[in-house]
Chain A
């Protein structure tokens, strides 16, 4: 599914999730959870699901998926919950050390801007 612009696709967000706006309380996906596909996309699948499965052939973070799909993270999380419930993806939590300190990142960003 191509979502090249911000609002140049006619489908609304609630139609992607069937009207749900909340993922379950015990969903394993936080922003940096790595998602791995467990199967290949099949025809007739919702296009976002297919895109997620193609994207997560290698472990990919939730935020990265959301950015590529250009969807809000909450919506992405609901889609991922659906896929996980169907056994099509699995979640891996990264080690703590892999997550850099946000302050460092912010400083990096500011430094990059100031270049």
Chain B
């Protein structure tokens, strides 16, 4: 190809030079002609304009020359390029022809090869199909032959097994038939035998039934008889219980009366020998009274006495001690000032006496029994500790059961277990709780809880400077005691009370003590009755106060409450007593304490008692000097002022 810019294509400056030069020479000739033609004055400007026009003409001539030359070069070049293009077109057509021939050759080769391969493949496929068919035929034949063989074998085996089974079946049938015959024969024998037996048994049972019917009739008769006997026994038992309760009540009344008598005798006799004997008898009687109380409790009767006022714990303990044989071995440790309500005091005392008796009896004769009293919120715990025999487990359980009071039956009682049964009854009645435990002293400890509802906390006794009032009871200050006293005073007025009747029957007896309570109830009574004058010559029976037998002793302090409504004084000498009291009070002695406007009933009574004791002490008793003027001359007291000599008899028998 031709290069686009050849060096000869551009006109060189040398070739351009003659044109401007020629032009310049023409122009110079023109200028010179102008100069010649023009005046002198315009020469200068003509020169300048001529010069400038000459220059410009030269430049234009040069430019034109350059353009003509450039066009000539470009035409030459165009011709060469057109020749190149023709040549190239020829070349291309030649190459196209060649490639078409090559393509045709290769296509033919390919077609030939494909045909060859197809032929080869068909041949191979036919060959394989033949082999497969042959193989299939062979296997089919083998299968048919095997099936035939196995069928044959199966048929043989089936025939053989059927034969064996048939034989076996035949044998079993024979065996079974034989067994069946044997069993049938045996069953027939058994049936015959059992029928015989059944018949015999049936006969025997018929006989038995007849016998039982007879027996039943006999037992029915027996039952009727026993029912009758049971009813009789029940009524006999009830009668015996009632009789026992009655007897116990009488014994209680007797022992209570005897105790009062003994107390009176103890007041009367001052010989120490006699006093010792009396105390001995007192002790024995107290024990007998406890036994009567026990019998009464066990038979369901009321326990002995009912106290009209709360009994202090110390008295409870001493009362319990006094009823057992070994009281000298009992040591009491008590600082309690509580008291037991009057209705429950006897029961608590009795239960405690039984516990103390047990403790003393079941410990060595020289060992002491210690009693401790402890106040707890639930009440008062009295613990009895001995150092005797330790109870065994079974004994302990039996004792616990006995004192729990669960069973009210008399069946479990023996002579020695009487006490615990009594404790159980009393515990149940008054809500006491009794428990056993081993004692730290080596023996057995019994705890008895006296519940709060039967306890009375007494008012603190006010210490009085006067000796006369120091010995006065602090109990009357308690409102409860006053109420009880009022109730006791009102007792005889109750028409529906059986005890009043008992009291009336007693009024028929010549009882000098009918004025006794009246005397006690009066402030100024002369010291002339059998109580405050033990040295009097009254006979023993005459000196027995009705109150001695009274299970509900009327406390003296009731007089304070009865002063106002006391009947008209039956003794015309009341003023004497007052005079005596006045005299005593005005005696120049500091012992009477602070002067008071009027002596109270207690004061005057205490003075009276003191004076009578003094008189009795300083003078040997003579039979006639103090014949009680009241004993025979006392008018019949009004029923309101009668003592209330109610006895347990009246309650147990009513």
**Footprint of B on A, CB under 8 Å?**
1-16, 18-19, 21-23, 31, 43-44, 46-47, 51, 54-55, 57-58, 60-61, 63-64, 66-70, 72-75, 102, 105-106, 109, 112-113, 115
Contacts and interface: CB of A to CB of B under 8 A. Distances in A.
A57 to B, nearest CB: 8
Contacts of B615: 105-106, 109
Contact of B555 (A5, A69, A70, A102): A5
Interface stretch (B154-162, B278-286, B423-431): B278-286
A72 B625 CA distance: 21
B263 interface: yes
B318 A12 contact: yes
B435 interface: no
Contacts of A3: 471, 473
Given A5-B555, A15-B322, A63-B617, A10 B328 contact: no
B314 interface: yes
A4 B473 contact: yes
Given A6-B531, A15-B327, A22-B272, A102 B619 contact: yes
Contacts of B617: 31, 63, 66, 73
A7 B259 contact: yes
Contacts of A112: 576, 580
Given A11-B322, A68-B610, 4 more contacts: A1-B315, A12-B286, A68-B468, A102-B619
Contacts, number: 177
Contacts of B349: 10
Interface string B591-635: 100000000000000100110111101110000010000000000
How many chain B residues sit at the interface, stated as a range, is 35 or more
A73 B335 CA distance: 26
8 tightest A-B contacts by CB?
Answer: A2-B473, A68-B471, A10-B319, A11-B318, A67-B613, A8-B553, A21-B276, A12-B322
A109 B266 CA distance: 25
Contacts of A47: 312, 314
B467 A102 contact: no
Contacts of A14: 279, 282-283, 322, 327
A13 B270 contact: no
A7 B264 CA distance: 9
Contact of B556 (A4, A46, A63, A102): A4
Given A4-B556, A6-B264, A10-B319, A74 B314 contact: no
Contact of B610 (A23, A67, A75): A67
Contact of A8 (B282, B476, B555, B590): B555
Interface string B455-471: 00000010101011011
Nearest to A17: B279
A21 B312 contact: no
13 contacts: A6-B547, A7-B259, A10-B305, A21-B276, A46-B314, A54-B463, A63-B613, A64-B610, A66-B613, A73-B617, A113-B526, A113-B576, A115-B579
Contact of A9 (B272, B315, B463, B471): B315
Interface of B: 259-260, 263-264, 266-267, 270, 272, 275-276, 279, 282-283, 286, 305, 307-309, 311-312, 314-316, 318-319, 321-322, 327-328, 333-335, 345-346, 349, 461, 463, 465, 467-468, 470-476, 526, 528, 531, 545, 547-548, 553-557, 573, 576, 579-580, 590-591, 606, 609-610, 612-615, 617-619, 625
Contacts of B547: 5-7
B352 to A, nearest CB: 11
Contacts of A44: 333-335
A23 B35 CA distance: 210
In this complex, the member of A46, A61, A69, A109 whose beta carbon has the largest number of chain B beta carbons within 10 angstroms is: A109
In this complex, the member of B315, B345, B474, B612 whose beta carbon has the largest number of chain A beta carbons within 10 angstroms is: B315
A70 B473 CA distance: 12
Given A1-B312, A14-B283, A55 B467 contact: yes
Nearest to B577: A112
B150 to A, nearest CB: 124
Contacts of B272: 21-23, 74
Contact of B282 (A5, A13, A73, A74): A13
B467 A64 contact: yes
A6 B263 contact: yes
Given A13-B263, A13-B266, A106-B619, A58 B322 contact: no
Contacts of A18: 328
Contacts of A46: 314
B609 A70 contact: yes
B383 to A, nearest CB: 16
Contacts of B553: 5, 7-8
A76 B553 CA distance: 24
Contacts of A23: 272
B532 to A, nearest CB: 9
Contacts of A66: 613, 617
Contacts of B461: 2
Given A2-B475, A5-B556, A115 B576 contact: yes
Nearest to B575: A115
A10 B521 CA distance: 22
A64 B346 CA distance: 31
In this complex, the member of A11, A60, A63 whose beta carbon has the largest number of chain B beta carbons within 10 angstroms is: A11
B531 A21 contact: no
A66 to B, nearest CB: 6
Contacts of B612: 67
Contacts of A61: 614
Contacts of B321: 15
B287 to A, nearest CB: 11
B318 A63 contact: no
Contact of B471 (A6, A51, A63, A74): A51
Given A14-B283, A73-B270, A67 B473 contact: no
Given A68-B468, A115-B579, A10 B311 contact: yes
Nearest to B327: A15
A73 B270 CA distance: 8
